Chain A
Amino acid sequence: MPFEWTHKHLLGLEYLTAEEITHILDTAESLHEVSMRSIKKVPYLRGKVVVNLFFEPSTRTALSFKLAATRMSADVLDFSKATSSAAKGETLVDTAKNIEAMGIDIVVVRHPVPGAAHRLAEMLDASIVNAGDGAHEHPTQGLLDIFSIRRKLGKIEGLTVAIVGDIAHSRVARSNIWGLTKLGAQVICVGPPTLVPGALRDMGAEISYRLDDVLPECDVVNMLRIQQERQGALNFPSLREYSRLFGLNAERMKKAKPDVIIMHPGPMNRGVEITPDVADGNRSIILEQVTNGLATRMAVFYLVSGGAQDDSAVD
């Protein structure tokens, strides 16, 4: 029996089942080869309009969504507006209403406040794809990370994955925790206690404050960006000390399994959470993550737009 996709929006991996996540990964796998063709386009979103609504600066995510939508033959609009969290949020409501009036099919939204994508989903008829809502979720990043691991290691179940860094403020970490644990991986969150809240255990993750103890067990190490702009609350004394305790460098890599894979969602602070030799070394799949992001986002567009049902309308 073919799998039936029922979600109009992609707001977070918390709200998906293991079967649904696997279905997205399988769809991404079948769309992956599109990027290998000489003509890198498929018609699934022809006649549809996708808007990228970015209230926070972003380079790779915005580009990746744009390219994914373009490869699906959608018309793409970009709207970006930096808002500080101190600014009043009318812009979200007002912008959303304007967009609705323009008849847009899919809204990709990034916003500094948790729940922003959920609010749009309540307000609009369009499909909403969450491209990051504050520290809450970044589901396509979670999916592309899991997709990248599966492509490299052939499975997710039974793997041990360390996520290292500022888990407290990381939407990437939350989406990875939900997705990986649902698919049967063991996730260990690693960092100083000020950045690794104990309640992560309620989400199914384990917690460690010592990277050196965890490294030998890991099949995958996902190094998060230390968000210097979010460190106003002084969660650690200095970048130097952070780097010494949690930075991944060649010396530390000796403790890891020889076939460990190293990931990073970018943008990297080279020399802080990861040294250049590790980031660019033979265990790193950091650039493959970026490539895989395309297929993953194409798959998400395909599914939320009701892709399969519309196949008859396609050449």
Chain B
Amino acid sequence: MTALLIKGGRLLDPGKGLDEVGDLLIVDDRIEGVGKVDAPADATVIDATGLVVVPGLIDMHVHLREPGNDEEETIDSGAKAAAFGGVTTVIAMPNTDPPIDTEAAAEFYRLQGKRSGMANVYPVGCITKERKGESLAEMGGLDRGGAIAFSDDGDSVRNTDVLRRGLMYAKMFDKPILEHCEDPHLAIGVMNAGPVAVRLGLSGNPAAAEEIMVSRDLSLAEITGGRLHIQHVSTGRAVDLIRRAKAEGVDVTCEATPHHFTLTHDEVESFNPVFKMRPPLRSAGDVAAVREGLKDGAIDVIASDHAPHSNEEKDLEFSLAPDGVIGVETMLSVTLTELVHTGVLTLGQAIEKMTAKPAKILGLEDKGTFSAGKDADVTIIDLEKSWTVDRLKLHSKSHNCPFHGREMKGKAVITVVRGRVVVNER
């Protein structure tokens, strides 16, 4: 038996409304006590005075590139990057090569994640076979193999009827469908359609491409009663559509990424492909609307859409470069800097969107909260720590970070995964 005592920190667990200075006792890989605890004499002690102690963060949108592109990221390297960002649970998207569309593939993921130990890794299974959008993957097998949700992320499910059936079929396993919303016929540009694209002569990907798919998917969620989670919402109208659907009782949740609530399409003026992703960076008005959605709860979750690409592949002329940016390691710091220190969200709201909310959506009952018997995943945060993002010092195998050179305020300094201190940067 190993005991770990985290002493004197500000215990913040928005899921159960806890916010008080106290102690947290961990025995082996479980939480033993919260608040006033009886620690054994031989417990290892971490003095968390002046720090914020929160349930381990969950990033429900990460690309780990293994199998297929392990020069860009592996399950192990991605888990390490997560741990250094205070993220203890990583939800891995299935658009690998080959895609995670079978029981065996899902199981491989679970086992590799366990081997790594730097973070809990859960795979998402494909909605459709080979992620082609044509016919349903064996969701039952994926479920048995350990898939935690279903998604064809990278693309919308092209065939509307297939998605309809997917939303219905997934109800059997009580698992959500995570949808990447972009109309494939309309979303053919390389940046947000609008004045900047026109000025730069780059092809435009209109906000409507996202909104049309969000609207379609909300209608399908309504008629099927299926559980829909919309990924990386980036436009003002998409936020509105989701807000309205929620008010009407549709079972829908959604997420926003740090780059979509921080950066605008003006960044593309540099022609630097590190600002190229899907959905693209939008207008300042969209950024404001996403922030408003985070504030009023229309947007449930903050997730990174961590998408590593090697320099050789990414550092091309803008139009030729692949989509995607890394972000699992900077998610917490960007959120604290851009949303919490600026007063857009309270610290509790921000943490809830990375703990209790994703845990609830994904059915991770033992995560995202502090209670006796729950998994001992803990993130300890220094709210005032100033640091500058250096893409080469981050722990991902890839360096395509859009926040390179930015000043941050706030950082995870200690990360505990299943009772083990995996990062200690104090």
Residues in chain A near residue B202, CB distance under 8 A: 114-115, 134-136
Q: Residues 308-340 of chain B: 1 if any A CB is under 8 Å from the residue's CB, otherwise 0?
A: 000010011111110000000000000000000
- The answer to whether B17 has its CB under 8 Å from any CB of chain A is no
Residue among B194, B198, B312, B321 with max Cβ neighbours from chain A (10 Å): B198
Residues from chain B with Cβ under 8 Å of A203 in the complex = 198-199
Q: Report which of B198, B271, B315 forms a contact with A93, defined as CB distance below 8 A.
A: B315
Measured CA separation A116–B318 after assembly (Å): 8
A window 58-104: CB within 8 A of B: 85, 88-90, 92-93
Pairwise interchain contact B317-A111, C-beta atoms closer than 8 A: yes
B200 adjacent to chain A (CB < 8 Å): yes
Contact partners of A133 in chain B: CB under 8 A: 201
The residue of chain B having its C-beta at the shortest distance from the C-beta of A197 within the complex is B198
Q: Which one of B198, B201, B270 lies within 8 Å of A202 (CB-CB)?
A: B198
A73 and B194 alpha carbons, distance in the complex (Å) = 44
**CB-based contact A114/B194 at 8 Å:** no
A199 & B201 in contact (Cβ 8 Å cutoff): no
Residues of A201-220 at the interface with B, using a CB-CB cut-off of 8 Å, are 202-203
Q: At the interface, is chain B mostly helix, strand, loop or mixed?
A: helix
Count B interface residues, CB 8 Å: 18
In the complex, chain B residues whose CB is within 8 Å of the CB of A202: 195, 198-199
Instruction: Annotate B194-210 by CB proximity to A: 1 below 8 A, 0 otherwise.
Output: 11011111100000000
Which residues of B lie under 8 Å from residue A278 when comparing CB positions? none
A116-141 vs B, CB cutoff 8 Å, 1 = contact: the mask equals 10110000000000000111110000
Interface contact A89-B316, CB-CB below 8 Å: yes
The reply to whether B320 and A134 form a contact with Cβ atoms under 8 Å apart is: no
**Residues from chain B with Cβ under 8 Å of A93 in the complex:** 315-316
Q: State how many angstroms separate the Cβ of A96 from the closest Cβ of chain B.
A: 11
In Å, the complex CA distance between A261 and B95 comes to 57
Confirm or deny: A268 has a beta carbon within 8 angstroms of a beta carbon on chain B.
no
**A136, closest chain B residue (CB):** B201
**In the assembled complex, which residues on chain B have CB atoms less than 8 Å from the CB atom of A16?**
none
Is A113 on the interface with B (CB-CB < 8 A)? Answer: yes
Contacts of A136 in B (CB 8 A): 200-202
CA distance A1 to B317 in the complex (A): 41
Closest to B271 in A: A115
**Residue A200 at the chain B interface, CB threshold 8 Å:** yes
CB distance from A84 to the nearest CB of B (A): 10
Q: How far is the CA of A168 from the CA of B383 in the complex (A)?
A: 47
C-alpha gap A199/B192 in the complex (Å): 13
- Give CA–CA (A48, B194) in the complex, Å: 42
A199 touches B319 (CB 8 A): no
Beyond A199-B198, A199-B199, whether A114 also contacts B319 by CB under 8 A is yes
CB atoms of B198 and A200 under 8 A apart: yes
Residues of B within 8 A of A29 (CB): none
Cα A114 to Cα B197 in complex, Å, equals 10
Assembly CA distance A134 to B271 (angstroms):
12
Question: Complex: how many Å from CA A168 to CA B189?
Answer: 13
CA distance A91 to B312 in the complex (A): 12
Residues in A with CB closer than 8 Å to B316 are 88-90, 92-93
How far apart are the CA atoms of A222 and B316 in the complex, in Å?
34
In the complex, which residue of chain B has the Cβ closest to the Cβ of A92?
A: B317
CB distance from B275 to the nearest CB of A (A): 11
What is the bound-complex CA distance between A56 and B283, given in angstroms? Answer: 32
> What is the minimal beta-carbon distance from A1 to any residue of chain B, in angstroms?
32
The answer, among A14, A113, A118, for a CB contact under 8 Å with B199, is: A14
| Contact partners of B197 in chain A: CB under 8 A | 199
Extra inter-chain contacts (15) besides given A113-B320, A136-B202, CB under 8 Å: A85-B319, A85-B320, A88-B320, A92-B316, A113-B317, A114-B200, A114-B319, A118-B270, A134-B201, A134-B202, A137-B201, A197-B198, A199-B194, A199-B195, A199-B197
Task: Write the residues of chain B forming the contact surface with A, with a CB cutoff of 8 angstroms.
Answer: 194-195, 197-202, 270-271, 312, 315-321
Q: A-B pairs with the 8 shortest C-beta distances?
A: A115-B271, A135-B201, A136-B201, A113-B317, A199-B198, A199-B195, A89-B316, A89-B320
